[in-house]
Structure 1
Amino acid sequence: MAVNSKYMSFRNARAQEMRQMADLLENQIGNISTFPIHNAIADLSNPERIPLLKNGDAKENIWGYDIENFVLPLDTLKHVTPNDIKKGEIVLNMKLRGNIENWESFNDPFVELAFKVLIKGVGNDRTYHFGFHIDKHTGGNSDESHPVYHLQYDFNPTDSAEPNLGDLFYVDTPRIMHKPMDFILGVGFLTSNFFPTGFQVLCEKREFIKLNTTYQQSVWRPYFHTLANKWKPFDEKNIIWNPINEICPIFI
Structure 2
Amino acid sequence: MDSWSLRYLRQDLSKLLELINEYQIGDFSQLYDLLGKVDSLDGLEYELSNVVFYIDKRIAGTLPNELNKYQIFFENTIIVEKTFDPKKDFLKSYKFELNIDSYISTENGDGKCYKNCWHLDKHIESSEPKYTHPTYHFHFGGEYLNGLDTGDISIFSNPRLPHPPMDFFLGFHFIISNFYSSKEYPFVKELKENYEYQVIIKRAQDRLWKPYFKAFDSTNTHQDFTINKIFPLYLS
Which range, TM-score by smaller chain? Answer: 0.5 to 0.7
Retained in 2: the 8 A contact 1:112–1:138?
A: no
Q: Structure 1 residue 151: deviation in Å?
A: 1.2
Give the structure 1 partner of residue 54 of structure 2: 73
**What are the superposed Cα offsets for residues 161-188 of structure 1, whole Å, 9 maximum, x if unpaired?**
x3111599xxxxxxx999xxxxxxxxxx
> Within the alignment, does 1:63 sit opposite 2:44 as a pair?
yes
Give the structure 2 partner of residue 248 of structure 1: 231
Structure 1's unaligned 5+ residue stretches are 1-6, 51-61, 169-175, 179-226
TM-score by length of 2: 0.59
Distance 1:11 1:167 in 2: 42
Q: Structure 1 residue 101: deviation in Å?
A: 5.5
Pick one of 90, 93, 97 that aligns with 2:75: 93
- Shift in alpha-carbon separation, 1:38–1:101, aligned structure 2, 3 A: farther
> Within the alignment, does 1:132 sit opposite 2:118 as a pair?
yes
- Shift in alpha-carbon separation, 1:86–1:76, aligned structure 2, 3 A: closer
Q: Which has the greater radius of gyration?
A: 2
Give the structure 2 partner of residue 147 of structure 1: 134
Following superposition of structure 1 onto structure 2, how do residues 194-209 of structure 1 map, counting pairs within 5 Å?
A: none
- Shift in alpha-carbon separation, 1:246–1:151, aligned structure 2, 3 A: same
> Within the alignment, does 1:163 sit opposite 2:158 as a pair?
no
- Shift in alpha-carbon separation, 1:63–1:89, aligned structure 2, 3 A: same
- Shift in alpha-carbon separation, 1:102–1:155, aligned structure 2, 3 A: closer
Identity %: 19
Retained in 2: the 8 A contact 1:25–1:32?
A: no
Measured on the aligned residues, the alpha-carbon RMSD in Å equals: 3.6
Distance 1:115 1:10 in 2: 21
Structure 2's unaligned 5+ residue stretches are 105-109, 154-160, 164-208
> Within the alignment, does 1:18 sit opposite 2:24 as a pair?
no
TM-score by length of 1: 0.56
Distance 2:117 2:7 in 1: 32
Higher relative contact order (CA 8 A, sep 6+): 1
Q: Structure 1 residue 140: deviation in Å?
A: 1.1
Q: Structure 1 residue 154: deviation in Å?
A: 0.5
Retained in 2: the 8 A contact 1:91–1:117?
A: yes
Amino acid at match of 1:108: D
- Shift in alpha-carbon separation, 1:84–1:155, aligned structure 2, 3 A: farther
Q: Structure 1 residue 248: deviation in Å?
A: 1.3
Amino acid at match of 1:23: E
- Shift in alpha-carbon separation, 1:122–1:167, aligned structure 2, 3 A: closer
Retained in 2: the 8 A contact 1:96–1:113?
A: yes
- Shift in alpha-carbon separation, 1:125–1:148, aligned structure 2, 3 A: same
SS of corresponding position for 2:44: strand
